[in-house]
Amino acid sequence: MKGRLRHLAIGGLVSLALTLATAVLSAWPSWQSLPEDSALIRVSFSVSGARNCRDRTAEELAALPRNMRRKRVCERRRSPVRLSIGIDGATLFDAAIPPGGLSGTGPSRVYRRFEVPAGDHRITLRLQTDPAAPDKAVTAVHEVTLDPGQNMAIDFDTTTGSFVLY
């Protein structure tokens, strides 16, 4: 009985020591992911690029069996999506994002994070889903105030065709 109490006391002390060590290490050393005067902008969305389509000629249609005579034919692969992000007049990001999937048939997925100084900023966003129609690009300009340590997310809503800031 005496040996059993001794083992329970030692087990209790070891458990207490581990709990205290965990509590100390959870608060020390202090760590933060961003410098004190910075904020974070995250851009995350997926959007499908356009497909290259054309109308078949009368000769092409005549050469096909009757059940395969579709007037319009589209390539399987989607076009890359071009995204441009500017902040206060300077280009932060400008690239063509390729389509996903094995055959390039899926949407283009964007995930980027940018560390910027806290304060007032003018963010310019431009998304072009069809390289053949550069005049149909979605463009948006947002005036934002970012607090130190703030995380701001930028999404693209495909149903409304506009950028959303959270």
**pLDDT at residue 133 above 80?**
yes
Return the number of other C-beta atoms located less than 10 Å from residue 113's C-beta. Answer: 11
What is the distance between the alpha carbons of residues 39 and 142, in angstroms, rounded to a whole number?
16
Strands (E), the chain: 38-47, 51-55, 72-78, 81-87, 90-97, 108-117, 119-128, 138-146, 151-157, 162-165
Asked whether 118 and 146 are in contact (CB, 8 A), the reply is yes
**pLDDT at residue 3 above 80?**
no
What tokens does 83 get? 């995204």
Backbone angles phi, psi at 86, to 5 degrees: -125, 145
pLDDT of residue 134: 86
- The type of residue at 144 is V
Q: Could you tell me which residues are beta bridge partners of residue 96? A: 82
pLDDT digits (tens, 9 = 90+) for 11-49: 999 999 999 999 888 887 777 788 889 999 999 999 999
pLDDT of residue 25: 85
Peptide bond into 99 cis (omega under 30): no
pLDDT of residue 158: 93
Residue extents of the structural domains in the chain: 1-31, 38-50+79-165
What is the distance between the alpha carbons of residues 11 and 73, in angstroms, rounded to a whole number?
74
**pLDDT at residue 139 above 90?**
yes
pLDDT digits (tens, 9 = 90+) for 58-109: 999 999 999 999 999 988 899 999 999 999 999 999 999 999 999 999 999 9
What is the distance between the alpha carbons of residues 73 and 123, in angstroms, rounded to a whole number?
39
In this prediction the pTM is 0.76
Asked whether 51 and 74 are in contact (CB, 8 A), the reply is yes
| CATH hierarchy code of domain 38-50+79-165 | 2.60.40
pLDDT band at 123 (very low <50, low <70, confident <90, very high): very high
